[in-house]
Chains A and B, each alone.
Chain A
Amino acid sequence: MNATPSRGARLAWEQLWAIVWKDLRAELRTRQAWMSMGLFALLTLVVFNFAFDLRVQDQRAVGPGALWVSFLFASVLGLARNITMEQDRGPMDRLMALPVDRSVVYLAKVIGNVLVISAVEMVALPVFAALYNLPVLTLPIIPITLLGTIGVAAIGAQYAALAANTRARELLTPLLIFPLITPVVIGAVRATEALFSPVYGDAPWLGLLAAFDVIVLSISAVTFQFVVEE
């Protein structure tokens, strides 16, 4: 009696990591998403840096915004690709014919996106620190970028799948995602700013990011099947 649920949970766990492994393996081979995302992020940082001719105090005010704009724009490039690789007639036909819970597919796509976006961020952060001369390479940046990235990936996996079934998916994906990740942008930018100006205190912003992530992940895991199934 108890064996069936535990066997089901074990299978779901194995399926989750099988999808993540498959996505990363394909991405490591082609480097299609990483290359375009990385270049886009770096280019955005460079353009912002030269466009504003920043002084020291301006760098602290503008830098976090520039950093997260570069992360978000770059992320959208990868989010759409991660979903469309599964597409045939339906948004995720390759996986939909398999005996896998749709919430497992969703969580696997979120994890895959988080790993890919994090790799881009690891390259972009040192470049940002050098260009903007800001002490961003400290331990507190890790929870900020991780929580912000989870928020972007959680929204992105859901709405990239929703847009995947439309002809204008390249246009629709960012149009759907950007308004919905506004809380992530505010929370992540403020939390990053707080790294340079301790008077703000970073706790409320990290709390906002964590709460947003939990809410979006919970709702999307349940509703994902309605997005990808007929």
Chain B
Amino acid sequence: MSAQVIRAAEAVAPEARAKPAAIRVERLVKAFDARPALRGITFSVTPGATLTIFGPNGAGKTTLLRALATLARPTAGTIEVGGFDVVREAHEVRLRTGYVGHQPYIYEDLTARENLLFFARMYGLRDGAARADALLARMELTAKASERVRTLSRGQAQRLALARGLIHDPETLLLDEPDTGLDEVALALLERLIEERRARGQTTALTTHNLERGLRLASEALTLVGGRAAYSGPADGLSAEAVLALYRKGGAA
């Protein structure tokens, strides 16, 4: 009887056996035409953590996020998101991951609401309309719901892009410089969203050039310099000066 119970537990809930790291990256190399953008990065992120990725321009932050989002195939090394390999199990990763890149990835000739409905349908959400309306309200875009995206301001489009990334309530949310173009009110909203995700045990990884904000939000930090991980670990005790010192040290190396 007890053996049966054990076998059933193994069959039904494989994730219950050992909860995998939210993100696990090992010896990741990504090269474009033999030009390496990432040079053997290794790090992992605890489930429910907020990871802030720091780095000067050209450090490889966007390339790393794109690789995590299955948009860039690793040249060497492995990446797992939620326990799924981004190359062999890309579909599973995409189901569980939200990605908001440099570009908002929304369609300019559709309205804000039509965009969210489209993405809800792509994820097969049954309550897509309700979810879209709730997110529009959350992002303070209800008044703009029926307006075409091309008429929205940069900040409004960025908020809509955030709503798009959250439409399927992903386990892992990847945000590439989400604070770009946002006003103070929207920035506060963004910070609240990230804090709420952490409280719910959902993982967020973001890049930013604003060191203070990045450190305030982070429970874990990764600093990339020249495609290498100059620091990977808890964000507690890490200061903006220390991050800048890593930039300078990496730049001089």
Contacts and interface: CB of A to CB of B under 8 A. Distances in A.
Contacts of B107: 22, 26, 85, 94
B109 A89 contact: no
Contacts of B73: 229-230
A52 to B, nearest CB: 40
B21 interface: no
Interface string A115-152: 00000000000000000000000000000000000000
Nearest to A96: B71
Interface string B46-87: 000000000000000000001001111100000000000000
Interface of A: 11, 14-15, 18-19, 21-22, 25-26, 29-30, 85, 88-90, 93-94, 96-101, 229-230
Contacts of B99: 97
Interface size classification for chain B: 20 to 34
A98 B148 contact: no
Contact of B71 (A85, A97, A100): A97
Nearest to B63: A89
B114 interface: yes
Nearest to A94: B105
Interface stretch (B7-15, B115-123, B190-198): B115-123
B118 to A, nearest CB: 5
Nearest to A28: B109
B182 interface: no
B109 to A, nearest CB: 4
A229 to B, nearest CB: 7
Interface of B: 66, 69-73, 91, 94-95, 97, 99, 101-103, 105, 107, 109-110, 114, 118-119, 121-124, 148
B36 to A, nearest CB: 15
Contacts of B102: 88
Contact of A100 (B69, B72, B122, B148): B122
B101 A88 contact: yes
Nearest to B91: A99
8 contacts: A22-B110, A29-B148, A88-B101, A88-B102, A88-B105, A93-B101, A93-B105, A97-B71
Given A14-B124, A15-B121, A99 B109 contact: no
A194 B101 CA distance: 53
A99 B101 contact: no
Given A30-B109, A96-B70, A99-B122, 19 more contacts: A14-B124, A18-B118, A18-B121, A22-B114, A25-B110, A25-B114, A26-B107, A26-B109, A29-B110, A88-B103, A93-B101, A94-B105, A97-B70, A97-B71, A97-B97, A98-B119, A98-B123, A100-B122, A230-B72
Given A99-B91, A230-B72, A230-B73, A18 B122 contact: yes
